[in-house]
């Protein structure tokens, strides 16, 4: 039996919910849509003002998922994420 699971990282941002990541093991099986629908239901039940999503412009599957759920782009940003690794003996 295939493992079909996924997870979402999100944060409360004032009266809004911000989704930072939707990740699933098995693609194209409705898992991400189900996770997103659950978040939207919780947000509605809690009376949240909005649910916002952060994703990469090049991530066509994510853009399609959010568009199907009624999301629309509101802002584009160019971000650089980096970290510095320093050896423990340095």
Structural domains of the chain in order of their starting residue, each with its CATH number: 6-68 (3.40.630.30)
Q: Which residue has the tokens 């971000």?
A: 79
C-alpha closest to that of 24 among 65, 79, 54, 76: 65
Q: Is the pLDDT of residue 90 over 60?
A: no
pLDDT band of residue 2 (cuts 50, 70, 90) is very low
- Where are the alpha helices (H) located in the chain, listed in sequence order? 31-45, 60-68
C-alpha closest to that of 28 among 71, 64, 53, 1: 64
Quote the DSSP letter at residue 62. Answer: H
Q: Is the pLDDT of residue 34 over 70?
A: yes
């Amino acid at each position: 039996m295939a493992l079909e699971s996924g997870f979402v990282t999100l944060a409360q941002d004032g009266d809004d919910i911000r989704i930072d990541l939707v990740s699933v093991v098995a693609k194209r099986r409705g898992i991400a849509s189900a996770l997103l629908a659950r978040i939207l239901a919780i947000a509605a039940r809690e009376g949240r003002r909005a649910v916002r999503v952060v994703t990469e412009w090049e991530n066509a599957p994510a853009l399609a998922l959010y568009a199907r759920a009624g999301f629309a782009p509101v802002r584009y940003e160019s971000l650089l994420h980096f970290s510095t690794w320093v050896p423990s003996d340095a």
